[in-house]
Structure 1
Amino acid sequence: MKRKLSGGLVHELPNDLVDALTDSTEVINRWENLTPIARNEFICWVEDAKQDKTRIRRIKRTVEELLEGQKRPCCWAGCIHRTDKKPGKWQQAVLIDKKSST
């Protein structure tokens, strides 16, 4: 049932996330019905994981949240890689400043 899925606005869809998303037609349909920006948020959230176990957990949670009807990852400040808008103050403080201090 594996097929080509749409990526995000900035991020390409990684293979491990494709594998999880293509396990059911319902998940595929929910993914494809998201906007490119919303898909991008999920991809960025997964890609931002620093440990493999966190990445695996986020991929699993992505599928769960899609099945729950979520359109964006829960508790995610948003993708800082987008060039079509500047990061908000919260993103700057939490995501950008935190990374530069580590």
Structure 2
Amino acid sequence: MSIVFDSKLEIIESYYIIRIPSTSSEKLPSRGMVMIEGILNGVAFHTPVEPDGKGSHWFKLDENLIKDVEVSAGDTVSLSIEPVSDWYEPDMPEDFMIAIHEAGLIDRWKEITPKAKWDWLRFIRSTKNPSTHQRRIEVACSKLQKGDTRPCCFDRSRCTIMDVSKSGILLD
């Protein structure tokens, strides 16, 4: 099921982003993070789309994709996307991985799915407060030790990248 739409390339802080229009986002299987494959101006890509905290989604374009599609901020781009079940491993914060190693949880960490790891990443990074960040790492280790594979009581429909959001809402 391909979802086809046009959108403008925007910059928020140092992030080049594409907002997915609400009518297109509604076709995704979740209000939370979704992994997609797509075609952007004729170039294939595979990336997670993040919730915008208002019922829709957005995603960051990496530098290579921006170069490949030869676009600039403000340009309208044509996209065709579809959700996929093939989640790749996220880049986890170094302090979290040190805590995983120190707690003897590396084997447990390797057992959980990439999608579950994305949930842990989103849980940990959804604060700017250093003490809250550290506390979330401790909670994650504790839950993993107990056998939990995902954070509980976590609103998956909020934007968790603090550089581009405020109170879980993508900046305008």
Match of 1:30 in 2: 108
Q: Distance between the aligned counterparts of 2:141 and 2:115, measured in 1? A: 17
**What amino acid is aligned across from residue 169 of structure 2 in structure 1?**
K
Match of 2:134 among 56, 63, 66: 56
Task: Return closer, same or farther for 1:34/1:10 CA change in 2, 3 Å cut-off.
Answer: closer
Task: Return closer, same or farther for 1:32/1:10 CA change in 2, 3 Å cut-off.
Answer: closer
Task: Give the TM-score, by structure 2 length.
Answer: 0.41
Q: Distance between the aligned counterparts of 2:115 and 2:169, measured in 1? A: 23
Runs of 4+ aligned residues of structure 1 deviating over 2 Å after TM superposition are 8-11
Shift in Å, 1:99: 1.8
Query: Is 1:44 matched up with 2:118?
Result: no
Query: Is 1:71 matched up with 2:128?
Result: no
Match of 2:99 in 1: 20
Q: Distance between the aligned counterparts of 1:70 and 1:61, measured in 2? A: 11
**What amino acid is aligned across from residue 28 of structure 1 in structure 2?**
I
- Contact 2:103-2:141 at 8 Å conserved across structures: no
Over the matched positions of the two proteins, sequence identity in percent amounts to: 26
Task: Return closer, same or farther for 1:44/1:9 CA change in 2, 3 Å cut-off.
Answer: farther
Q: Secondary structure at the match of 1:22?
A: helix
Shift in Å, 1:49: 1.5
Give the number of the structure whose residues are more often strand, by fraction. Answer: 2
Q: Secondary structure at the match of 2:152?
A: coil
Instruction: Provide the aligned length of Structure 1 versus Structure 2.
Output: 79
Q: Which residues of structure 1 form unaligned runs of 5+?
A: 1-7, 79-90
Shift in Å, 1:9: 3.8
Q: Distance between the aligned counterparts of 2:89 and 2:169, measured in 1? A: 19
Q: Distance between the aligned counterparts of 1:100 and 1:50, measured in 2? A: 15
Shift in Å, 1:74: 1.4
Q: Distance between the aligned counterparts of 1:47 and 1:11, measured in 2? A: 12
Q: Which residues of structure 2 form unaligned runs of 5+?
A: 1-86, 160-166
- Contact 2:90-2:118 at 8 Å conserved across structures: yes
Task: Give the TM-score, by structure 1 length.
Answer: 0.66
